[in-house]
Homo-oligomer: A and B are copies of this chain.
């Protein structure tokens, strides 16, 4: 997680002074081979003069030198790279229709507004590959090209650009980056790289405003979300997505089926391939970086869910199952998969092949329905790769610990090591209100064993809509799971972060502990609850054991008294014994002595 690259950060500025933000760190940038390739780093400056660079997902919002405005959107960082490749063209684009925003089509059909109208920022036209060609990072990687996006993630991950290119070319990693989302800071998802975390946002039956969704996105990335999925349903779905995309420094994922269902007023059986395809084009033109497609829910698999305890728990899966049964036909997503690949390739939209039949309870884990769908996803993965579409595979769900490894092992086998992207899994069903924890356990384990990205679960899972605090709790819990996995995988540099924090702890550098923490604000707040005074932050003790009854203090005394190395201590033990006693080394003084 730490960035110890020899290159000095290009600029290191004061961190933002907004309320609640920690001091002691700075937004810095590591420059690549060209001046427009600047990779952000959260540079933590320690009181001992050292500094530690941490992976930074927060975007320009934490750079006080960048003037951000959600009505204008972020600067199109990648635009020159995309244009310079010369393989895309701007075009008029599909007209935006009222029903794209869930407004009933009693209004006249046809173009009503263009993209400019739904977002007040700079005017833009959508872009796609010339003559329908694949403009994907996969295509470039296979041709041996290292794109600026690949170099960017190489700097971010402290690996060589060639490793990035190889992993993408082999289909073991994806770099989601729609040509219509030039605002993103590129990132990579694959088992050779740091484990990533996705946060879901989105309004639902209970309406939340567009501004709230943008705010949830920036809030989630501030705490470390690597990608964000906009799962909005209902009204203003198109416009909300436009605002989120124009302001997002991270790749945005969606489930186009949700919006398609809105367009047929929620009647699953009225869905058609044409409506679905139109929705995919609409979202691809806006810049969605990856899309969940439930093409593995085949007609023949639906009966396999009949004896399940909790049936089908994926929204997309249940919609497709209802469609298949209503028409008694094979899924239109499965039957038109090749055509869908052509569309995605022309924008570089990455597939996230959905697990519509994932288990929704411990009882249903690893059953026939789940694994039948997984094998189909493996088949679709090969088709997508053949068409140069980047692809990752979604995974469960609810799985007891002893059945987790089988999931990643089978997925890696049947999907040719394509990146696995799992929801948890939850390791028990009995703790609603704590499913960030039931699932954080499973997430850490499955990531250790090779899962590339973890979809977060908030405390509200199964109960209600997550608020701002829930989003933060979900992201932090999943950053813990991801980092624990990075450590267990022996990811180069991962342990430097732990070491820096533990050094600070042992040396009672409280401010450094806070600033290095995943959540500096809460760590400081918890410390101050018991010992609020400023001197306590330089004190050689903490509130747990009192002023002198502190094991670390005693350990330090031992080292000071007996030398710093094992040999010194052994050599000096005998002669030091008397001195130690003579010095009256009190390890504890009662407060009221």
Which residues of A approach B to under 8 Å, CB–CB?
Answer: 1, 102, 204-206, 233-235, 261-262, 265-269, 299, 302-307, 309-315, 317-319, 321-322, 325-328, 360-363, 400-402, 427-434, 436-438, 440-441, 444-445, 448, 459-460, 462-465, 467, 476-477, 479-481, 483-485, 487-490, 495, 497-499, 501-503, 505-506, 513-514, 516-519, 522-523, 525-527, 529-531, 542-552, 554-559, 561-566, 568-570, 573-574, 576-577, 580-581, 584-593
Cβ contact of A554, chosen from B318, B400, B437, B549, cutoff 8 A? B318
Cα distance A352–B66 in the bound complex, in angstroms: 57
Are B325 and A586 in contact, CB atoms less than 8 angstroms apart? no
Tell me whether A545 and B484 are in contact in the complex, defined as CB-CB below 8 angstroms, given that A431-B476, A505-B310, A562-B325 are known contacts.
no
CB of A118 to closest CB in B, whole Å: 20
Cβ contact of A428, chosen from B267, B437, B484, cutoff 8 A? B484
Tell me whether A522 and B433 are in contact in the complex, defined as CB-CB below 8 angstroms, given that A204-B545, A462-B542 are known contacts.
yes
CB of A546 to closest CB in B, whole Å: 3
Cα distance A488–B304 in the bound complex, in angstroms: 24
Cα distance A459–B234 in the bound complex, in angstroms: 38
Number of copies: 2
Q: Which residues of B contact A522 (CB under 8 A)?
A: 433-434
Instruction: Output the nearest chain B residue to A574 by Cβ-Cβ distance.
Output: B328
Cβ contact of A517, chosen from B313, B314, B433, cutoff 8 A? B433
Tell me whether A577 and B363 are in contact in the complex, defined as CB-CB below 8 angstroms, given that A438-B484, A484-B400, A556-B311 are known contacts.
no
Q: Which residues of B contact A502 (CB under 8 A)?
A: 309-310, 360-363, 429
Please name the 3 residue pairs, one residue from A and one from B, whose CB atoms are nearest each other, closest first.
Answer: A266-B588, A311-B555, A205-B546
Give 18 A-B contacts (CB < 8 Å), ordered by A residue.
A233-B546, A261-B587, A267-B586, A268-B554, A303-B569, A306-B566, A310-B506, A314-B551, A315-B545, A322-B585, A326-B581, A328-B577, A401-B448, A402-B488, A438-B480, A462-B505, A462-B544, A463-B526
Are A444 and B401 in contact, CB atoms less than 8 angstroms apart? yes
CB of A526 to closest CB in B, whole Å: 4
Cα distance A462–B554 in the bound complex, in angstroms: 16
Q: Which residues of B contact A361 (CB under 8 A)?
A: 498-499, 502, 505-506
Cβ contact of A429, chosen from B322, B498, B559, B585, cutoff 8 A? B498
Are B551 and A593 in contact, CB atoms less than 8 angstroms apart? no
CB of A569 to closest CB in B, whole Å: 4
Q: Which residues of B contact A402 (CB under 8 A)?
A: 448, 487-490
Are A464 and B542 in contact, CB atoms less than 8 angstroms apart? yes
Taking A266-B586, A305-B558, A314-B551 as given, write out 7 further A-B residue pairs in contact, using a Cβ cutoff of 8 Å, ordered by the A residue number: A268-B585, A362-B487, A400-B484, A400-B487, A432-B513, A437-B440, A462-B544
CB of A324 to closest CB in B, whole Å: 9
Cα distance A441–B446 in the bound complex, in angstroms: 12
CB of A516 to closest CB in B, whole Å: 7
Which among A269, A321, A555 has the highest number of chain B CB atoms within 10 Å?
A555
Are A548 and B266 in contact, CB atoms less than 8 angstroms apart? yes
CB of A192 to closest CB in B, whole Å: 17
Cα distance A315–B302 in the bound complex, in angstroms: 58
Are A561 and B325 in contact, CB atoms less than 8 angstroms apart? yes
